[in-house]
Amino acid sequence: MLFGKKKRRIQRILVVEDEPLVAFDAEHLLADSGFEIVATTDLVSEGLAVVNSDAVIDLVLVDVSLSDGSGIDVARAAHGRGVPVLFVTGACPDGAREVAIGCLAKPYPQRDLLAAIEALETVLEGKTPRKLPGSLSLFPHAG
């Protein structure tokens, strides 16, 4: 019997973040951890274009305050396509529970981003995560 990592449910991630350093760090951390970055964008309009394209997306990481509008619009579009959303923001917005599976509060240690994705995978499998990073709030009935 071979022992190995289980196949990830979340593999392809869209990052919508307008803070360049945060976006850069997230993109490289996720890529180095074996995730495929579908796109990294800093605009609502570009995030919507990717979500509404034929791209296969397993998770959208989206900031709320973007230079051309609200990341909530990207979250609504992704939710409408059945794509899980994790807000990554300083303050979780009103109405987040309706369109997202959780909220990761900034600033966060990089390990919390990976732990949050692992927790989301557990929730998407219908299970309860054993441990959550302190900066993560889950909305189990949403997403």
pLDDT tens track for 5-18: 567 889 999 999 99
CA of 24: how far to CAs of 20, 41, 57, in Å? 6, 10, 19
Look at the pTM and tell me if it is higher than 0.75. yes
Q: Phi, psi (5° rounding) for residue 54?
A: -85, 5
CATH superfamily, domain 12-138, is Response regulator (3.40.50.2300)
Torsion angle in degrees (nearest 10) through CA of 122, 126, 132, 138: 120
Domain boundaries, the chain: 12-138
Q: What is the pLDDT of residues 58-112, one digit of tens each?
A: 999 999 999 999 999 999 999 999 999 999 998 888 888 899 999 999 999 999 9
